[in-house]
Amino acid sequence: MHTESAAEAINDMALLGLMQLVSPALPIGAFAWSQGLESAFELGWVTNEQELGEWLEGVLDDGLTRCELPVLVRLQNCWAKADSEGLAYWNDWLHANRETAELSDEGARLGLALVRLLTSLAVQPQTEQGDARLPEEPDYVTVFAWTAHQRRVPVRQTLLGFAWGWLENQLAVACKAMPLGHTAAQRLSELLRPKLVTAVEAALLLTDEQMGPILPGLALASAQHETQYSRLFRS
């Protein structure tokens, strides 16, 4: 009989909290951002279901696996230790690794939107109660890590939830802008689901020196999107 370890177990309230955090219904405006994908469509780099799958797998392997996911590990650990200096360091690291104005703006705006939501729910960090200080310009990943910590979500499940939310948003972008049919989106979801697990496992093993995104194509697409004449999304 299989028994989950204490580190892997997730209780019902934590699971529900994670589901709420990654839900498309979360009112922070994530649906308004494409992370360069709309520009990839416009430039003709991604034109069909297969090419979209290859693009998303590349962003997952060389982006999330090397940037957001391993930083989430470190940020959630900083929240657990009430380490304000560590939080500020990794939050600054995220800002430094946003390669275009739109990607930087996305992280900052979504972060502030999530802070406003948490404040309205009275679950924002409270320094007077021993919580670490929220950085002045918190990236979305930093606030996501706090919310997962506050809801006692184990680190591994935090990473899986974040990766799943990213994939769902990217497929929603494709359904609106490519356009990609919903059945095709589900095929890609089924194809990439195990790759999310592989990405999380890889991210958990990275050292600080191994971190950093390698996404020149996405950076170019995002930079060109800044001046794209007609667009549906903000990045």
Q: What pLDDT, on a 0 to 100 scale, did the predictor assign at position 215? A: 83
Q: What are phi and psi of 24, to 5 degrees?
A: -60, -20
Length of the chain: 235
Q: What is the pTM of this model?
A: 0.91
Q: Are 164 and 196 in contact (CB under 8 A)?
A: yes
Residue 168 maps to a domain: yes
Continuous segment of H or E residues that includes residue 225: helix 216-225
CATH number reported for the structural domain that contains residue 208 in this entry: 1.10.4190.10
User: How far apart are the C-alpha atoms of 37 and 178, rounded to whole Å?
Assistant: 9
Q: What is the chain's pLDDT, residue by residue, as a tens digit (235 residues)?
A: 344 554 456 788 999 999 988 888 888 777 777 777 888 888 889 999 999 999 999 999 999 999 999 999 999 999 999 999 999 999 999 999 988 887 888 888 889 989 999 999 998 998 988 889 999 899 999 999 999 999 999 999 999 999 999 999 899 888 888 888 899 999 999 999 999 999 999 999 999 999 998 888 877 877 766 665 454 445 4
Q: Is residue 131 part of a domain?
A: yes
* Number of domains within the chain: 1
Cα radius of gyration rounded to whole Å, the chain: 17
Helix (H, G, I), strand (E, B) or coil at 106: helix
**Residue 87 lies inside a defined structural domain of this protein:** yes
For residue 235, what pLDDT is reported? 44
Chain CA centroid to CA 19, Å: 14
Residue 179 structural domain: 35-221
Residue 229 lies in a domain: no
